Amino acid sequence: MSESPTQNPSTTRTSNVATTLTAGRLGVPAVVFFVMAAATPLTVVAGVITLAYAITGSLGIPVAFLLVGAVLMIFSVGYVAMARRMANAGAFYAYVARGISRPAAVGAAWVALLAYNALQVGLYGAIGAAAAPLLTQWFGLDLAWWVIALIAWALVALLGLQQVDLNGRILAVLLLAEVAVIVVFSIASLLNPAGGTVSLTTLDPGNLFVSGVGAILVLGVLGFVGFEASVVFSEESKNPRRTVPLATYISVASIGLLYALAAWAMSVAVGPDQIAQAAGEQEVALIFNLAGGSLGTTIVNVAWALFVTSILAAMISFHNTTARYMFALGRERVLPAALGRTSARSGAPVAGSVVQSVVGLVVIVTYAVAGWDPLVQLFYWFGTSGGFGVLVLLAVTSVAVIVFFGREPSGENLWRRLIAPTIAALALGTFVVLALINFGDLLGVAASHALRWGIPAGYLVAALLGIGWGLYLRARRPAVYATIGLGAKASLAGGGLGGAATPAEEPAEPSGAPRPAG
């Protein structure tokens, strides 16, 4: 079939499928919307922040978000420096391939698939539980959580097959609405301080240096999960060398400041000495109860509806991210080649999107039949587990950045290629250790509970199996092994829809981007 004059020359078509994502669809604002939607600002403010106050009893939550934001900004220095040298929907997978080795990259990819699937499907429990009381109050409908979850699932599954810029526009509306709610609620809290005085107590950095700081920092990191997805959309971005860095920095800075503002305002409205108790008693409803006194019931109800749509926005974002990870692995035939196909009409990774939808459907049905708790056992456990997986990947990626630039400086200065990535690796490695130490507390389970070590062990097993598969490919399928980490170049090397690549067919890397190690 002949190609149209405007078709990407690296695209291979078979009827209505292609092997590349559609370039040039997303600008900086659209990528920011995807990233921040994945971070679920309103969900974090209503859930994670109140949980952090309640569980730890610490007053250092606002400062923790600022500290974690600073660490992730430093991490982003090396992260986006590598992004300027490669546009690859595999993100962590591609970075580890270029920096450490191909087998390690496959291990990282399997961890990423577990983590992002957990984050995405866990949200079905949240949206079911959050929307049910609203539907009862507004329309008198008494629906089971799983019915609502299935409706949301169908919507997300449909959008996952559409053009990525359509998803971006939907996320823009939802995200701007929830950010507006957070800002308005925070201002209202600051204008109605407990005792008539705006307290700066929770902005004192000294509040971090208390017992339980590990849990505080880990919960802080969980609030940012999703920011790293900017690189996942690099192949579909307009001028990715500019779009990805700008979107990453804007997202991290905005998320950190927004969370710090909300956490501080919450403590001002309740009072620093009462915030832990109030958070423990009122939980998710705390922020809405605070706003109700000054803004009225109608506004609070609208805000609660936006809380539901914020969960939907995160589901759309994580679905797109997960589907693109599968696409990246299928394109290089690390997973079945069918996953490396995109729709010629929409440019969406159809097979990856469908697989992700099937996973979500299986989880919803399983939880509905078993009668398990959708909030604690689905949303909270899956979300915390997925966040931990992403934290591990951030730490490993920091090491990959150091190794990559150590082998090929590529004209980068010392700060971008060594100092910043080293600081990030040390800080994130410390966060991983603290997460392991406090994992039982994070899940809210006893030290003897099977999930306490079962979840971290599950990630370790996935990583080892992935590394083993990478070694198998090196020994038995060298043509496939040669394309690991090449991204769109895998198609040019013959690794697209079943072509047999050979190492000799690998295209030359762009200047400053050496071939993958391993």
Residue-wise pLDDT tens digits, 146-203: 999 999 999 888 876 765 555 556 767 777 888 888 998 899 999 999 988 899 999 9
Confidence of residue 434 (pLDDT cuts 50, 70, 90): confident
- Domain presence at residue 5: no
Ordered DSSP codes for 101-139:
-HHHHHHHHHHHHHHHHHHHHHHHHHHHHHHHHHHHHHH
Confidence of residue 144 (pLDDT cuts 50, 70, 90): very high
For the ranges 184-198, 384-398, 430-444, 494-508, the lowest mean pLDDT is seen at 494-508
- What is the total count of domains within the chain? 1
pLDDT of residue 362: 95
The Cα–Cα gap between 178 and 55 comes to: 25
pLDDT of residue 148: 94
- The residue that leads in pLDDT, 407 or 342, is 407
The Cα–Cα gap between 361 and 163 comes to: 22
Share of the chain above pLDDT 90, in %: 30
- Domain presence at residue 491: yes
- Domain presence at residue 510: no
pLDDT of residue 498: 40
- Domain presence at residue 17: no
SS3 state of residue 14: strand
Q: Which domain holds residue 113?
A: 35-505
Please report which helix (H) or strand (E) contains residue 342, including its range.
strand 342-343
- The residue that leads in pLDDT, 180 or 56, is 180
pLDDT of residue 400: 94
pLDDT of residue 232: 63
For residue 272, which phi and psi values (nearest 5 degrees)?
-55, -35
Confidence of residue 318 (pLDDT cuts 50, 70, 90): confident
**The two structure tokens encoding residue 92:** 């962590």
- The residue that leads in pLDDT, 219 or 75, is 75
DSSP state of 26: B
From the list 248, 209, 206, the residue with the least C-alpha distance to 424 is 248
pLDDT of residue 476: 94
- The residue that leads in pLDDT, 431 or 214, is 431
For residue 126, which phi and psi values (nearest 5 degrees)?
-70, -45
pLDDT of residue 489: 58
SS3 state of residue 237: strand
- Domain presence at residue 418: yes
> Helix 145-159 crosses helix 297-331 at what angle (to 10 degrees)?
50
From the list 109, 95, 106, the residue with the least C-alpha distance to 405 is 95
* CATH number of 486's domain: 1.20.1740.10
pLDDT of residue 397: 93
pLDDT at residue 13 above 50? no
- Domain presence at residue 489: yes
pLDDT at residue 240 above 80? no
pLDDT of residue 231: 67
- Domain presence at residue 133: yes
Confidence of residue 371 (pLDDT cuts 50, 70, 90): very high
From the list 503, 163, 175, 149, the residue with the least C-alpha distance to 343 is 163
Confidence of residue 465 (pLDDT cuts 50, 70, 90): very high
pLDDT at residue 483 above 80? yes
Question: Beta partners for 17?
Answer: 14, 343
The Cα–Cα gap between 479 and 191 comes to: 64
Confidence of residue 363 (pLDDT cuts 50, 70, 90): very high
- Domain presence at residue 515: no
pLDDT at residue 20 above 60? no
